[in-house]
Amino acid sequence: MENSCKRLTLHVQGLDCPNEEKLLRKAFQGREGVRPLAFDLIQGRMTVEYDPARVQEEEIHGWIASTGMKTSRPQFNPPRSPYSGGVFGQGILRESPLLLVAAGLLLLSFGSWVSGTPEWITETVLAGVLVSSAWKLAPKVWMGFRALRFDMHVLMAIAVAGAIGLGEWSEAAIVAFLFALSQELEKFSIGRAQSAIESLIALSPATADVIRDSGIENHPVEDVLPGERILVRPGARIALDGKVMRGSSYVNEAPITGESVPVPKGEGSTVYAGSLNQDGSLEIQVDKRAHESTLARVIELVDNARTRRAPVEHLVDRFARVYTPAVIALAVVLALAPPLLGGLWPDWIYRAMALLLISCPCALVISTPVSLICALTSAARNGILIKGGAYLEETSRTRVVAFDKTGTLTSGRLRVAHVVALNGQPMEDVIRLAAAVEHHSQHPLARAVGAYAETSCRRGVPEARDFISFPGRGAMAEVEGRRILVGNHRFFHEKGFCSEEMHERMVLHEQDERIAVGVAADGIPLGAILIEDTVRPEAAACVRALKNLNISRVILLSGDNAGTARKIADDVGIEEVHAELLPQDKASLIEELARQEGHVLMAGDGVNDAPALAAATVGIAMGAIGADVALETAPVALMNDDLGKIPWLICHSRRTVRIIGWNIGLALGMKMFFVLMAILGWATLWMAILADMGTSLLVTFNGMRLLKGKTA
C-alpha cells in the first residue's frame, strides 16, 4: 500500500476473543485498499490501514458491522470500564441484572428439588435459569452459528442443547449460568487490568482555569490553545504542558518521571500535564494542545505498545490455531467412534460435549497480553516508556549493558574549567570565537562553552555563518571574516592544525581527566578550552546492581580521550572502556557486541547516540521528558535521568517473562488435565466451564501482580 495510506483505530464492541479476531480478518480478506494491522483484545480495539482514494471510512465500519459487531472511535478520555473500579456486584447490577435473577432461580430450583416438588415445576424453574443466563449471550451465539465458527459461545450452546437432549436439565442450567458468570468475571478481571491505563488518563484534569481579560474561566482542556495562560492553585493537578510565567511552587512530576521527590518550579520553568502542584499558585503559559502534551503522548505510546506483539504472543497464537480444531476433531471422534464399536451413545456424547467446552483456548490466549499490559503500564508509572512487549521480552535476556559517557554516566552539566590562549591571542577572543561556532550546536560541550561566554565575554558573541558540523569531532564556521574550527584533539591532528605547543597543552590537561576543545582560525591554533564533567551520584550503584544481576559485561563508550573516559569508568566501577569513538564507531562496536553476546542494551542521550541505540538489541534514551525525538525514536525511554531505573527495568522484564511462563504453563496444564478427564468420563459439563473460567481468572490476576512492581 502507498505512503498516502491512513491508519484508523476503532473500538469494536464484542472483540474480546481470538475467534472474533478471526471473524474480522475474514471480513477484510480480499478487500482492496485496506488491511487489518493489529487487534487489542483487552481493550477491544482494531487498527486498520487504508487508502482513502480507494476506500471510505464508512465502508470499514460497514464491513465490521457485517460480522454483528459495532464500532466507535476511541476517545482521548474514554469512559471507564464498568468493572475497572468498585466491586464485582456493582458491575453485575449495572451490566447484567438478569444474571442475578438466574442465580435466584437456580437456588429456587435446588430448593424445589430438595423438597420433592414435582419434576415439571423444577424443570420450568431451570428453564428460567437457562433463559435469564443466556439472554445477553444469545446474540453472540447467533453470530457464531451464522458465521459457522466454533467459538466458546457456540460450543456452550451445543453443550447446553446436548444436555437438554439427554434429559440433564439441571446440568444444562448450571452450565449456562456458570458460563454467563464466567463472562462477567472475565470482564471484571480485564476491567481491573484496563484500569491501569485509565489511571494514567485520570491524571490529566478534564478542565483548566483559563486567565482571560474578563477574569478566570473554566474550560475543557481540549479548548485551551497554545499561548493562553492558565492558573493552577495549590493542591491541583497541572492540566496542560507549558512554562511558568508567574509564581513558584514545588511540583510532583511522578506521573511523568516516576520520581516522587517534588521539583522546585519558578518563572521560566517547564511544567507538564498530570503533575501535582503542591504549595504555591502558578500562572502557566500553555505551549501544547491537550492531545499533544507529554502525558498524552506517554498514554498514546503505552496504548499503542499493546498492539506491538511480543514473540511469545505469536507463538501462543500459532499454538491456539492448531489446538482448537484438533480438540474439536477429537471430540467428534469421541462422540462417534466408541458408540460405533459398542459403547453407549449418551455416555460418549456427554464426554464429547465436555471436551468441546474445554477446547476454547481463551485462558491461553489472554495469558500473555494481560501480563504485558500490566508490565508496560507499571513501567510507565515508574517513568520508563517501553514501546512494546517485544522490547520488554528482549530486555529480560540482556547480557551486555553499554553506556555512553557524557550525559548518561555523567551529569552532562559540563562547565569550562580553564581557557588556554596561544600565539599571543587574548583569552576572551578564544572563548568568544568558539562560542560563535558552538551556538549552532546542541552538544553538551557546546552548551558549556556558550554558558561560559555569556558571563565572561564583555564584547559579546559574534555571529557565525556557513556552519558545518563534523559529528564526534567538532564544527567549523565563518566568524568575523575568519574560518574558525572548534574540535577535539583528534580532529586537530586530522586537519593538521595541532602545533607542538597545542599538542603539549591538550595532552597535559587530558591527563588530568579534562576534556580539551581546541580552537583555530584559518588553520592557526588560537588556544584550548578545558571542560570538566561530574559523575552522576547514582552511577556507581547502578553498575553494582547490574553486576549483581549477572550482566556479563558492562561497557563505557565515549568520544572523549582515553584518559577522561578511563577516569569516569574507574569512578563508577566499569572495567571495559572504549574511547575516542565517532558515532559510527559506537554503532559498529554495538553491532559486534550483539553478534558476540546476542542481547545488548545501550543507554545514551537519544540524539547524539542514535546510530548506536538503533544498533543495540534494546536502546534506552535518557531524560526523554519533553523530548519529542527521544519519545518517537527510542524503543525504551527514561523520562528522567535516573540510572537506577535501568537495573529495575531488567528485573521487571525478567519478572514479566517469568509470570508469562507461569501463565502459559498453567493454562496448558489445566487444559491438558481436563482433556484427559473428559476422555476418561470424569469431567462433567459444569466442571469444564469452571476449569475454563477458573484458569482465565487465574492467569489474569497473576498477570496483574505486575502492576504492583516496586517503585524504581
SS3 content of the chain, % helix, strand, coil (to 5): 50, 20, 30
Annotated catalytic residue, options 40, 404, 533, 560 = 404
The winner for highest mean pLDDT among 56-65, 74-83, 169-178 is 56-65
Contact 113, 122 (CB under 8 A): yes
Find the range with the poorest average confidence among 19-23, 226-230, 438-442. 19-23
**8-state DSSP, 205:** -
User: CA 234, CA 187: separation in Å to the nearest integer?
Assistant: 38
* pLDDT score recorded for residue 260: 62
Instruction: Tell me the average pLDDT across 300-323.
Output: 67
CATH code of 212's domain: 2.70.150.10
Q: Is residue 336 part of a domain?
A: no
Above pLDDT 70, what percent of the chain? Answer: 83
Q: What is the pLDDT of residues 243-284, one digit of tens each?
A: 999 999 999 887 677 666 788 999 989 898 888 898 889 999
For helices 152-165 and 119-134, the axis angle rounded to 10 degrees is 170
pLDDT per position as a tens digit, 513-533: 577 888 998 888 888 888 877
Give the residue, 3 or 182, on which the prediction is more confident.
Answer: 182
Report the range of poorest mean pLDDT among 286-295, 318-327, 381-390, 437-446. 318-327
The type of residue at 191 is G
pLDDT score recorded for residue 712: 45
d(CA 311, CA 394): 10
How many CA atoms within 13 Å lie on the side-chain side of 77?
12
In three-state secondary structure terms, 687 is helix
Which of the given ranges, 23-27, 214-218, 472-476, has the highest pLDDT on average? Answer: 214-218
Whether 166 is in a domain gets the answer no
114 within a domain of the structure (yes/no): no
The number of distinct structural domains making up the chain is 3
pLDDT, one tens digit per residue, over 649-664 is 999 999 999 999 998 8
519: domain CATH number is 3.40.1110.10
Residue whose C-alpha is closest to residue 464's, from 499, 491, 500, 437: 437
d(CA 376, CA 378): 6
Per-residue model confidence as pLDDT tens digits over 593-623: 999 988 999 998 755 677 888 889 998 988 7
Residue 309 has a pLDDT of 62
- pLDDT-above-90 percentage for the chain: 17
Q: How many CA atoms lie within 13 A of 79 on its CB side?
A: 6
Say which CATH number the domain at 45 has.
3.30.70.100
Residue after which a domain boundary falls, among 263, 291, 319: 291
Indicate the residue among 532, 555, 575 that finishes a domain.
532
Mind listing the pLDDT tens digit for each residue in 428-487?
888 989 999 888 887 778 888 888 888 888 888 888 889 998 877 888 999 988 999 998
Backbone angles phi, psi at 497, to 5 degrees: -100, 0
Residue 40 falls in the annotated catalytic set: no
Residue 691 is predicted with a pLDDT of 77
Are the CB atoms for 487 and 517 separated by under 8 Å? yes
The per-residue pLDDT for 706 is 87
Would 600 be classed as within a structural domain? Answer: no
Q: Could you say which of 532, 547, 576 is where a domain stops?
A: 532
User: Which domain covers residue 240, as residue numbers?
Assistant: 207-291
The average pLDDT across 46-74 equals: 84
What's the pLDDT score for residue 88? 47
Averaged pLDDT, 6-25: 76
